[in-house]
Each structure stands twice: as C-alpha cells, then as structure tokens.
Amino acid sequence: MARAVSTQRKTLTTALAWAIGLVIFFPILWTVLTSFKTEAQAIANPPIFLNFDWTLENYAIVQERSNYMRFLWNSVILAGGSTLLGIIIAVPAAWSMAFVPSKRTKDILLWMLSTKMLPAVGVLYPIYLLFIKMGLLDSRAGMVIVLMLINLPIIVWMLYTYFREIPGEILEAARMDGATLKEELIYILTPMAIPGIASTVLLNFILAWNEAFWTLNLTAVDAAPLTAFIASYSSPEGLFFAKLSAASTMAIAPILILGWFSQKQLVRGLTFGAVK
C-alpha cells in the first residue's frame, strides 16, 4: 500500500517536473519553430504551432547577410578565454579564503560580490575611456579581461564553497608528506575539486557567452560576438521576427549543445559539492 502511494507520488512529481521543464523550455522551442516560418506566419494571430510550411529561407538570409562564423569564433574566444583566465586567478584566491581565512575574509567575499550589485551602465563611461586610453576597444584581449572581471566574483564564490567542503586535514596530511604549496594545489586540491571546478567553468562559460551589455558596448567589428549578431536582427520598426528567431537559434545552438552534453557534470557539481 505504502509502495503504491509512493509510486503515485513519484509519477506526480515526475509529471510536475516535466510540466515545469516544458514551461521553461517553451520560449526556446517557440523561437526555433518561428525560425522556420515566413515573416507573415511568424506574426499570425492565432499563432500557428506546427501546421505551417517549414522553410529554411530565414537561415539562408541570415547566412547571406552576416558572417556567422566570425561572430561564433569571437564568442568561443571571449567565453573560453575569460573563463580560463578567471579560473587561473580564482583557484588560488578561493584556496586562501577557504583554508587560511583571516579576520577579513568574509568581508572581502561580500565586497567582491557587491561589485555585481552595481548596474553595469553606471561604469560604462569610465571603462570606455580606459579602453580608449589602452587601445582595447573592439579587441578580443580587452573583452576577455572585462568578461573575466565581471564573472570573477561568482567564480571565486563558487570555488570557495566547494573548497570549504574539502576537509582541511587532507591538505595537512599532504603538507606533512612534504608537498609544496604548488603541489598541494595541483595534485591534491584540484583533483578533489574537479566536479566543482567543472561546473564553475561551465556556468561561467555560459554567463560569458550570454553577456550582452559589455559585448555590445565595447565591440564593433573585430571582437563582436554572437550577442551583437542577434542585436543586428532586432528592429523596433519592421516585423522581422522569423529572421530574428533564426539568428537567435544559431546563436544559442552551440551553447545548448554544450549544455546538453555536460548536464551530468553541471548538475553533479551544482548539487553534490566536492567530496560528498
């Protein structure tokens, strides 16, 4: 009897999870569907769900109009570069905060996070002027640095949380065996924190991929990533929803595929922590 109830409950929760999942996924599905419609079908009211003549015309137009590969390549470099640089800086920072905390560690952590609370546009001019002075406008190097700095607080916080769950005794034991600080970081801490680091890397890659304020405001041609590619298809005067949807689908496809293949690591990292 008890088992019957639990099966029923299980079915119910599964159904609920699926329902919520579908609601969250629906806008993306709708975008993908719209990308295969004509502009007239895209704005039809009542909306057409599946019963339309599928066309690849929008993709052809987008391909013809924009150099997709250039935008894609920039996105990969900016997201990958900023995440890598962020991890290189954040691992030692999180290590020191987790294992040799000082009186001020908590304050520093909070202070780091507080930089995320400032609306980005508030520092647009100072950063823009700095970029002009340093010749970094519309450069990949400049964008990698900016995106890294934006995401650094999150990377440090995530790694700090994972590292905190690693028993300090393990590191102490390594130290007693004569491991240097570098060896301790590379051979003991990092392998144990791999799931945590992996999910941090993935999450930050996605955040950097989707970042659409700085990537739009500091780039023009050479460093413009996929966010600029999408922005070029949005129009307040003219209905180009099908083309916009095609561009959006092309922009999110790579990250969606990456997310799909790495969802196990992502979920494990986000839910279990390092050594549980």
Contacts to other proteins by CB under 8 A: 39-40, 43-45, 65, 124-125, 128-129, 132, 137-138, 216-217, 220-221, 224, 228, 231-240
CB-based contacts of 127: which residues, under 8 Å, 6+ apart?
146, 214, 218
Nearer to other proteins, 78 or 91 (CB): 78
Output the DSSP codes for 43-54: T-SSPPSS-S--
Measured between alpha carbons, how far is 227 from 270 in angstroms, rounded to an integer?
26
Nearer to other proteins, 126 or 191 (CB): 126
CB of 82 to other proteins, least distance (A): 21
Nearer to other proteins, 209 or 214 (CB): 214
Please return the burial class of 16, using the count of CB atoms within 10 Å of its CB with bins 0-12, 13-18 and 19+: exposed
CB-based contacts of 113: which residues, under 8 Å, 6+ apart?
153, 157
CB of 13 to other proteins, least distance (A): 36
Do residues 167 and 120 lie in contact, with contact meaning Cβ atoms separated by under 8 Å?
A: no
Nearer to other proteins, 27 or 236 (CB): 236
Nearer to other proteins, 19 or 129 (CB): 129
Measured between alpha carbons, how far is 66 from 30 in angstroms, rounded to an integer?
23
CB of 44 to other proteins, least distance (A): 7
CB of 43 to other proteins, least distance (A): 4
Q: How far is CA 13 from CA 10, 23, 257, in A?
A: 5, 15, 27
Nearer to other proteins, 159 or 230 (CB): 230
Measured between alpha carbons, how far is 251 from 83 in angstroms, rounded to an integer?
19
CB of 121 to other proteins, least distance (A): 8
Please return the burial class of 223, using the count of CB atoms within 10 Å of its CB with bins 0-12, 13-18 and 19+: buried
Output the DSSP codes for 152-221: HHHHHHHHHHHHHTS-HHHHHHHHHTT--HHHIIIIIIHHHTHHHHHHHHHHHHHHHHH--SHHHHS-SS
CB of 118 to other proteins, least distance (A): 17
Nearer to other proteins, 142 or 273 (CB): 142
CB of 35 to other proteins, least distance (A): 17
